[in-house]
A and B are shown apart, each in its own frame.
Chain A
Amino acid sequence: MRRTIATLALLFLAFFNCAKAQDTWPVNGTLEKDLTIYRLANATIHVSPTETAQGALLVQRGRIIGIERGEEQYAAKSRANTVTIDMGDYHLYPSFIDLYSDYGMPEIPKQKRERGPQFTSDKKGPFGWNEAIKPEIRGAELFSHSNGKREALTKAGFGAVMTHQHDGIARGSGTLVALGENDNTSLLIPEAAACYSFQKGSSQQDYPNSLMGAIALLRQTYYDAAWYAEATDRRESNLSLEAWLKLQEAPQFFDTRDRLDVLRADKIGDEFDVQYIFKGNGDEYQRLEAMRQTDGAFVIPLDFPQGYDVSDPYLARMVPLSELMHWELAPKNPAFLASAGIPFAVTADGLKSPDEVIARLRESIRHGLSDTLALHALTLGPAEMIGADDLIGALREGMIANFIVTDGPLFDDDTRIYENWILGEPEILIDREAIDLSGRYAMTFNDKTYDLVVSDEPGKHKAHFEVILQKDGEADTTKVTVKLSQEERQINLQFGPQKDVFDGVFRLSGNVFSDSRIWRGKGENPAGEWLEWAAVKEEDAQEKAKDEKPTPAVASIDSVRIPQPFMAYGRPQLPEQQTVLFTNATLWTCEEEGVIEGGQLLIHEGKVTALGQKVDLEALFGKKLPDMQVWDVEGAHITPGIVDEHSHIAISRGVNEATQTSSAEVSIGTVVDSEDIDIYRQLSGGVTTSQLLHGSANPVGGQSGLIKLRWGMTPDEMLVEDADGFIKFALGENVKQSNWGPDNTERFPQTRMGVEQVFYDLFIRAREYEAEWAAYDEAVENLSRRQRRKGELPPKPRRDLELDALLEVLNSERFVTCHSYRQDEINMLMHVADSMGFTLNTFTHILEGYKLADKLAAHGAGGSSFSDWWAYKFEVKDAIPHNGAILWEQGVVTAFNSDDAEMARRLNQEAAKAVKYGGVPEAEALKFVTLNPAKLLHLDDRIGSLKVGKDADIAVWSDHPLSIYAKARATFVDGRRYYDREEDEQLRDKIREERARLIQKMLDAGEGKDLPKPSEKVPHHYHCDTVTDQIR
């Protein structure tokens, strides 16, 4: 093919494409009006993912000015200034768009951490109080193409990105830019989105140090901004809030860490009527239905795990089953999203290089994603998400001329990207008309003819002679390497010396004619004499035989069953609610009936329906019995499910918002981790309900999450429906930071004296806050019609989530569980509560409770204690294991709790210690871990005993339930059998089989690759005093 004038011009353009189109800039020289129309003819134009046209694309001044379709292109419309480029059946696609980019952003400066606490922002100027909330950061102002690795993106086919600084919880605005080399023309939408995350990034401020803190901070900021917008009497200016308010009109973009984060963000969005676009993590398929219900669009990465070197079976143990499964299924994630109708775009984030995007999408297409949706996810999808589909993402009149040129359908394996036009300027990736020299030639010089072989593609040509030599009477083919260089039609060859062939170095130069059939030129031999040479092509290069392994067959997503949760011991389907009649059972009712031997118990539709010596089925169901299992437990013991009043399992990223004296605004309920193996392990110990408590690092901790151990459900589904709210308080050494080291001596309080004042101050503030709102409500009520009409409203108080929670405590709408050891401080807090007019619900730990059990009983507080812990801190020096017995004897509602992920699965044995230490009767001791904690959690109308009408939360034991020899045979929650010892044995086998299968597959897939060795993930086990910063 002859090189056209137009393509030469194009090459020229590619080197000379800046410094135009800024109308406001002064002209140096003569004004270039940039009027030329480029007409890219004979192309297959992918107007949008679903629309293709044959014809010509017309481009002028960086914009698409039209498409000539079909026959139209031959009409040769006369247009002034038109340069036609024959695209020769190449394809034009919109250039790709990546919404999760930090292209062109300056590096985030690393802050130095000072010793000691940092309570407020270090940022200078009239901004907000928290360094991680910085909506005032404007991506457009930070952006310059010179900061970025532009070429890596354009080479991969990208034409525009939304870029923002990935730093902080409220990160400011993301800006949409084309990948041009001129910042002014590249900037398409300065404030394309408001960007958020749960990571505090470079902020060195203490607050928040937990995920629940980040959630509370975001919520409070929404409220603060609303107040700021309306307040008529505010005394402060706050540019952070002003920027926040302005950004609310833009699309809202949330960067998440995992699928559960998506749900958490979505919940915030629901509260404030905001629909986020989620930056996902490729694990969406693991909770697909929950993802769909967010109604959000997703930007997903394609960084499918590459697997591990699992050749060492010892080390391979460190790869959890969930990772093995994810390795196999990750490429199906896009297909899963598509199947659920969830809109998504893709990002190159997480890939070593953006040009892997196409390969990964091709992989996903093999796994069931359609070509159309794959293209949509790269082009129109992201454009639509941020409302930029009138600018980019398709090839229509008036849109930005961002498109790529390929030699075939984009997702065919051999298709390559030749050009990427950005803002109407071409970037040549591969020269479409490069002269392909590959083939076999007869080359003549020095009166001899040699076989010359040229291989590989233009730009990478390699060449050698094949010379036949006689060796020991036998013909032997020798390869003589030729150094070949090519510039357009000019070529140079250098070869020799080679024993028995060339006695020195030959240097030849010449030209290529007739496509590449004939080469001729001159050169010098080793003696410095000129010679003439010529080569004639005898055959074209053979198509390279593909030596790749045949692509293994992949399972369709319909055949894949996703376990819930996505890990070991997850099940593809939740256990059904069963109707079971237990017969021949020893029933520990924890009610007046006491222990019924040889009894029967019926559970039906999630409730305890009947129990006693004999259940009269006919009276219950008439003649028509439901589908029912009769389980003769042969004298085995059945108890109510164990209730753990004090647990720290199933919590994501931080059990303590340990930074401020009060963090009443945070809630464990917002960070429940439904995928914690400890849930299943505790089911195996008969546990059915747990209060997930905030830690004890500050006097006012955070709100609780009350969950039932519904293994497999989502975090929200695990929360106990309509439960009362609880909040953790704490006293003593932890809150005064006694054991935190010498850097922590500044935070108030540092003594027990100060702790009291913290509570008084907070509760007084809460009461005054209440009064402020009451006055406002009254003033609104009393507005005259005129005032109302004119909108002359009284100043509205600021909603304060922290005081809200404390006010709820004062008004007995939220209940306190207080970490406590010594009698003096317990006494103190009861005085605080009495004087403020509320009752403390529960003292937890309460190891000196036995010293003031009478006072506790008089106040009406319950006690949730350890059975026998002591001697770990000075304040527990007087703890005694008889504490529970004395509390119980004095009429305090007494529970034993775990505060420990291991012990929680043996709470029945801990209850037995109340028998051992202090002689509590066995039936009463069992209540320490069933009915009594249920009372403390205000759930005793639903759980905690075997009683008709209560939830079918029960445990079946192999032995006396207080005995060390007792093992749970089955644990039911809401009538669903979430744990069953026999099923557990089967699950173990299944896990072993599944691991073995995946390891074999990984070994097979990893052959010849250099994969990383496995490394072990260490799970967190939280206690009260676990203080870490987990959201940096």
Chain B
Amino acid sequence: MRLSTSAIALVVGLLINHGALASELPQRWVSAGGALSEWVVALGGEPKLVGVDTTSQHPATLKTLPSIGYQRQLSAEGILSLRPQVLAGTEEMGPPPVLAQIRSAGVQVEMFSAQPDLQALKSNLEHLGILLGKAAEARALFGDYEQALQRQKNRLVKIQATRQAPGVLLLVGNAGGKPLVAGQDTAADWMLRQAGGHNLATHTGYKPFSAESLAGLSPQVLVFADRALTGEAARAALFKENPILASTPAAKQGRVLEVDPTLLVGGLGPRLPQNLEVLSAGFYPTSSEATP
């Protein structure tokens, strides 16, 4: 090859950019990672998205965009066929050789953190804000987010001064069948803590539960996240497939809560504070609700 790779990359980049030269900012985005895509949408970037991965399920309008497949198994040519200027994703995105090919085709590959902590979110939002030309909005969004979490924290401190954290189990399932229990070091565990629950599962990662140990843990609250069903249908399916759950204190007292499973992937998403509030309310019901 006579031209160096970078020179080719530059030229290809310009070629691909031809429709968007008027603006300095990249106009065609592909986003991989549920929470990340949500933030792009929250910052008004939805019209710029030309493709998302399979974990980007929220808001529902993202599902109408071309799907680039699972974020760990991306296809270089598939993504290039969408003629993006930016591929935004988390460190879970891969495989590495494909990312290298995409980069060499002149596409900006922007990496974000999927760590569930505020510092990571802060730098993610700053980064996104600059790329989308919405730096001020991004700062404001983060400010609100931080405050919302702080309010939640303060509320918790006040409640926990008088009341004990309830023992909770979080089950992730598919139409109720064979649910996995969220253990330590998971996004689900982080969420339970932030909402003021005590995760009874001591293993790490998501593991299938055994009926016997589940009964022994006697959770006061059950939280479920179902990938296929929602609401009453999901609840009914869960108890139909796993009758042992009916014997837990949580089920007897009707303290069975639902979370959206898309909250559990890809770091801190914009819907989190609001969901934490709902969960928290479920963990510490006001006295009138708590009376059976």
A binds B: no
A contact set with B: CB distance below 8 Å: none
Interface residues of B (CB under 8 A from A): none
